[in-house]
């Protein structure tokens, strides 16, 4: 016969914790995975478990060349603006603002035509983009500019807060995104620009060099013409002076020029005598 204490011990051992009874039958030999009672009941009723869909990586991450070609596509639009500026006699800098796959603002230098020192390509394009979005914040936009922005334009870009700024060639004299100064790395501002540089930099640089070479040639040509004209005027003037002096000498010899005393008067009287 079993005593009462042994019976109580057997009864307690047969009462395992609920969590243990719940989990033990569902352990698997591989990975020791288990499912809760709620998961088993849902599976028994034929309810499928919801799974978070796995997204494929972005195409540009699988193939960085796609992102590069996209940058080149929009940079060529900016280069077209730069060529328009050169045709108008402006420094060839162009800019476009792209948002959701379309250009929402474009511009090129118009300093000379507008007689406005702030009419840089970036300022014109940013203003047009803000008008299109009806918002001064260019969130979700990418700005493409052929030449590294100056201090004014880099500040304007910081205020406009685009997602990305892409520029072509560096400007060693005025560039403020890495050349003379780097506003993008200055942590004192409340917005930090993300910058990509060097996209079609060679083509942007060729436009600038061609423009300033032509301007220098025009100035040198004007200078040569001006110096030649000055030389001709000087020769004519020297000839006139030489002719006048000879004529005066002949008149003095003939005694027709009044001379008021001095050696010239005595020479004239002696000549007449």
Exposure string of 222-257, with b = 16+ CB inside 10 Å and e = fewer, is eeeeeeeeeeeeeeeeeeeeeeeeeeeeeebeeeee
* The CA-based dihedral angle spanning residues 112, 113, 114, 115, taken in that order and rounded to the nearest 10 degrees: 30
Tokens of 57: 């990586």
Q: Which residues are catalytic?
A: 122
Beta carbons within 8 Å of 35's beta carbon, 6+ residues apart: 26, 43
**Residue 218's Cα: distance from chain center in Å?**
28
């Amino acid at each position: 016969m079993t005593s009462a204490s042994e019976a109580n011990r057997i009864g307690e051992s047969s009462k395992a914790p609920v969590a243990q009874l719940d989990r033990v039958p569902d352990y698997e030999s591989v990975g020791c995975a288990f499912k809760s009672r709620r998961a088993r009941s849902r599976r028994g009723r034929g309810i499928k478990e919801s799974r978070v869909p796995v997204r494929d990586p972005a195409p540009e991450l699988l193939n960085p060349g796609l992102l590069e070609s996209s940058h080149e596509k929009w940079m060529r639009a900016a280069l077209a603006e730069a060529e328009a500026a050169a045709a108008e006699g402006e420094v060839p800098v162009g800019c476009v603002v792209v948002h959701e796959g379309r250009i929402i603002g474009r511009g090129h230098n118009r300093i000379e035509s507008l007689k406005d020192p702030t009419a840089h390509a970036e300022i014109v394009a940013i203003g047009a983009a803000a008008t299109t979005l009806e918002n001064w914040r260019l969130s979700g936009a990418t700005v493409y500019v052929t030449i590294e922005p100056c201090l004014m334009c880099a500040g304007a870009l910081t205020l406009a807060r685009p997602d990305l700024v892409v520029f072509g060639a560096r400007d060693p004299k005025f560039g403020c995104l890495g050349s003379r100064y780097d506003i993008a790395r200055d942590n004192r501002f409340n917005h930090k620009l993300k910058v990509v540089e060097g996209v079609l930099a060679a083509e942007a640089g060729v436009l600038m060099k061609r423009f300033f070479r032509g301007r220098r040639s025009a100035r040198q040509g004007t200078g040569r013409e001006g110096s030649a004209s000055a030389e001709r005027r000087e020769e004519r003037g020297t000839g006139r002076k030489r002719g006048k002096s000879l004529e005066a000498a002949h008149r003095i010899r003939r005694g027709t020029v009044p001379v008021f005393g001095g050696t010239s008067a005595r020479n004239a009287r002696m000549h007449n005598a």
